[in-house]
Chain A
Amino acid sequence: AQSVTQLGSHVSVSEGALVLLRCNYSSSVPPYLFWYVQYPNQGLQLLLKYTSAATLVKGINGFEAEFKKSETSFHLTKPSAHMSDAAEYFCAVILSGGYNKLIFGAGTRLAVHP
């Protein structure tokens, strides 16, 4: 079975500080992993995806994530937080099978303080 766990439902950082949002997955086969961002009352927007081409994946808005097989992790980082980064972030893994069934983590709400 595949699942994804996001550590920390709420993360608060100061503007300009490092953003680190944690995601661990469990999978018996190499996974496809995604990070999405959701702003209030909106849908989800893809930040980045890992599909085994490179372990360090760069996404939009200055975010990046590193796939670490030994740690079964896919943490999301950004060197310097901006006020506009305040949102909810979801890590997701594709369930193995013949279709794109995404399994989502519970989400991490990021607050950015001046």
Chain B
Amino acid sequence: DGGITQSPKYLFRKEGQNVTLSCEQNLNHDAMYWYRQDPGQGLRLIYYSQIVNDFQKGDIAEGYSVSREKKESFPLTVTSAQKNPTAFYLCASSPGQRNSPLHFGNGTRLTVT
């Protein structure tokens, strides 16, 4: 079945460590996205990529980095510069047409202590 796989589901890290969240899709979608979800704040866009080897900052990119070396993969690195990294992270993809809905993975819950 086609879909988006995020791993791991739960991740724990010590403050000051970088951590990379995995996102893989087999939907053959051109566009991929990373959102952060905090209680009562909806989803906020971190980074997005419309095509391989290209990506743009979203609304809250500070303290995060991404790469898009393959169409299927869009990993997100949460760096030590991110002031409040504990959150639920959601990866999504879409075919790229303007009215196409996003397809979401099941998320990674990151806890930094």
**Is residue B100 within 8 Å, beta carbon to beta carbon, of the partner chain?**
yes
Q: A42 near B107 (CB under 8 angstroms)?
A: yes
B4: which A residues are within 8 A, CB to CB?
A: 43
Which of A9, A49, A107 neighbours the largest number of chain B CB atoms within 10 Å of its CB? A107
Least distance between B27 CB and chain A CB atoms (Å): 13
Interface residues of A in 89-103 (CB under 8 A from B): 90, 94, 98-102
Q: How many residues of A contact B (CB 8 A)?
A: 23
Q: If the complex has contacts A45-B104, A106-B40, are A100 and B109 also in contact, measured as CB distance less than 8 A?
A: no
Q: B42 near A90 (CB under 8 angstroms)?
A: yes
**Is residue A44 within 8 Å, beta carbon to beta carbon, of the partner chain?**
yes
Interface string of A19-46 (1 = CB under 8 A from B): 0000000000000101010000111111
B76: which A residues are within 8 A, CB to CB?
A: none
Counting chain B residues whose Cβ lies within 8 A of the other chain, the interface size class is: 20 to 34
B18: which A residues are within 8 A, CB to CB?
A: none
Roughly how many angstroms separate A41 CA and B106 CA in the complex, as a whole number? 7
Interface residues of B in 11-56 (CB under 8 A from A): 31, 35, 40-45, 48, 50
Which of A41, A44, A51, A90 is close to B99, meaning CB atoms less than 8 Å apart? A51
**Is residue B102 within 8 Å, beta carbon to beta carbon, of the partner chain?**
yes
Q: If the complex has contacts A43-B90, A94-B99, A100-B31, are A106 and B105 also in contact, measured as CB distance less than 8 A?
A: no
Given contacts A44-B90, A46-B103, 13 further A-B contacts (CB under 8 A): A42-B107, A44-B102, A45-B104, A46-B101, A90-B43, A99-B98, A101-B45, A101-B48, A102-B102, A104-B42, A105-B42, A106-B41, A107-B40
Interface residues of B (CB under 8 A from A): 4, 6, 9, 31, 35, 40-45, 48, 50, 58, 88, 90, 92, 94, 96-107, 109
